[in-house]
Amino acid sequence: MEEDGGKFIKIVSAEGMEFFMEKKVATAGSKTMQVMLEGNYRESENNVVRFPDISGPVLEKVIQYLYYLDKNKQLSGRLPEFHIEPEIALELLMASNFLNC
């Protein structure tokens, strides 16, 4: 990830699942990740963010949502529907509250 100039970050779930995403999308969509990646924290140095309390499937859905927000940021009016599976809805709500997204 060093060769890309910090364009991408690695996000690690509770089970150790690894996801890669654009840093600009993460910081624009999540205030928590923005503070972690732009502040004086270990995450800002190595571009790796670990979430030991968020499961892989939920973290994957959060990342999908952040890209959904980025893709639709120029739209005016109502946004297209973002599908959420009922079985992860509560855990997703808690994760989004923690991540401020």
Q: What tens digit of pLDDT does each residue of 39-96 get?
A: 999 999 999 999 999 999 999 999 999 999 999 999 888 889 999 999 999 999 999 9
CA angle at 27 for the pair 22 and 29, rounded to the nearest 5°: 95
Cα distance between residue 54 and residue 94, in whole Å: 9
- pLDDT by residue (tens digit) across 14-39? 999 999 999 999 999 999 999 999 99
Q: Is the pTM higher than 0.75? A: yes
Q: What is the largest CA-CA distance in the chain?
A: 39
Position of tokens 């959904």?
Answer: 68
Residue 2: band (very low, low, confident or very high) from pLDDT cuts 50, 70, 90: very low
Please list, in sequence order, all residues whose beta carbon lies within 8 angstroms of the beta carbon of residue 88, skipping any fewer than 6 positions away.
57, 58, 61
